[in-house]
Amino acid sequence: MIVPGNVSIRAVPSGTAGEADPGVPVPRAGRGESGPGRGEARVRRVESVVGRDSEGGWRRLAQVVMGPGSGSRTDGSEIDEARAKGIFSGSRRVVVLGCTGGAGQTTTALMLGHTLARYREDRVLAVDAGAGPHPLSGRIEEESPETLGSLLANLDNVQGYLGMRAYTSRCASGLEVLAGDTDAGAEQRLADRALFSDHRLGRTMDLLDLHYKLIVVDPAAALAARVLPYADQLVLVAPASEDGPDAVAMTYEWLDGHGCEDLRRRAVMVVNGVSRRSMGDVEQAEAVARGRCRAIVRVPWEDELAPGRSDRVEPSHLRAAGRRAYLALAGVVVAGFGAARAARTNEEELAQ
């Protein structure tokens, strides 16, 4: 997706990311540039088929060229919005993993949750299962003093949605957040299989499934491998930096080494913090990811989402390009739910 006045943002099948139609000019507008001038065309690259067909629908590509004067919604966001609102049965779980520290895992999980909640009428929950200094729940206005740890300790006493609601905080977007524990021993407890057993983890997922249509999980490193069997979709986050290509390669090796090849193939790669200066690193990271995941989405640099920031933030605080990028991500994620449930059921049985 090419957006005037900002960096290039794309939601494309990974098998074709980076390929350009030689008959179509593809402008690349950097920060501080005005983007395509009057009379120039803008190009948006999108999947032409949602789902799979005999030709492998995810690998097909459409070039949508929009000239000047084609209306106010010329960025293709109506396509992404329709996908984000897609109908599917049952509940779905999305696990977000950073390929390296500081890639933007927590920010991506939060913004994806906000975006899904804004565009869907379903209940959407973000689970802060991290233990770092900048937790997901630290970027919202917390209503409940309860945490993931207290929910685990009281699973038998949670009755109905109102009982569950006592453990969450609701944001203006409609997203609910289950806060993580932030004390000094939180990470150690997450890694303690006696305290946080696989059985208890499975019961927690089942409980959340009863009350939420979509669950976005932001796990600590100690918990990452244990939540993967419960994922319908995996979102991987790589930084738009020189560390990005190696981080992507190592993450893919780690996933394959943990028996998650299918989940990795169905994953969405987010290249986070894209700017004009980082385009060389971005393209190298995408070259590593190309053909090894389902889609790649570029998210532009946003001052509001800079590493280390702890301000409360929602998509409305971002520039238009950032909002569109997260909407593209939400659309690609929801569009991938078709064949995920059967695979997840088998993996859950192995985990328990």
CATH number of the domain to which 298 belongs:
3.40.50.300
Per-residue pLDDT of the chain (352 residues; tens, 9 = 90+): 322 223 334 555 555 433 333 332 333 333 333 344 444 444 444 433 333 333 333 333 333 333 333 344 445 688 899 999 999 999 999 999 999 999 999 999 999 999 999 999 999 999 999 876 778 888 899 999 999 989 988 999 999 999 999 999 999 999 999 999 877 777 777 777 877 788 889 999 999 999 999 999 999 988 899 999 999 999 999 999 999 999 999 999 999 999 999 999 999 999 999 998 999 999 999 999 999 999 999 999 888 777 666 677 788 888 888 899 999 999 999 999 975 555 555 555 545 4
- Asked, for residue 3, whether it belongs to a domain, the answer is no
- Asked, for residue 36, whether it belongs to a domain, the answer is no
- Asked, for residue 48, whether it belongs to a domain, the answer is no
Count of CB atoms situated within 10 Å of the CB of 183: 10
- Asked, for residue 225, whether it belongs to a domain, the answer is yes
Task: Give the Cα separation of 237 and 76 in Å (integer).
Answer: 23
| pTM, to two decimals | 0.78
Residue with tokens 């944001």, as numbered in its chain? 171
Domain that holds residue 253: 71-351
Residue 65 pairs with which residues in a beta bridge?
A: 43
Domains of the chain: total: 1
- Asked, for residue 252, whether it belongs to a domain, the answer is yes
Task: Give the Cα separation of 161 and 211 in Å (integer).
Answer: 6
Task: Give the Cα separation of 286 and 211 in Å (integer).
Answer: 37
- Asked, for residue 325, whether it belongs to a domain, the answer is yes
Question: Could you tell me if residue 259 is left (phi over 0), alpha (psi between -120 and 50 degrees) or otherwise beta?
Answer: left
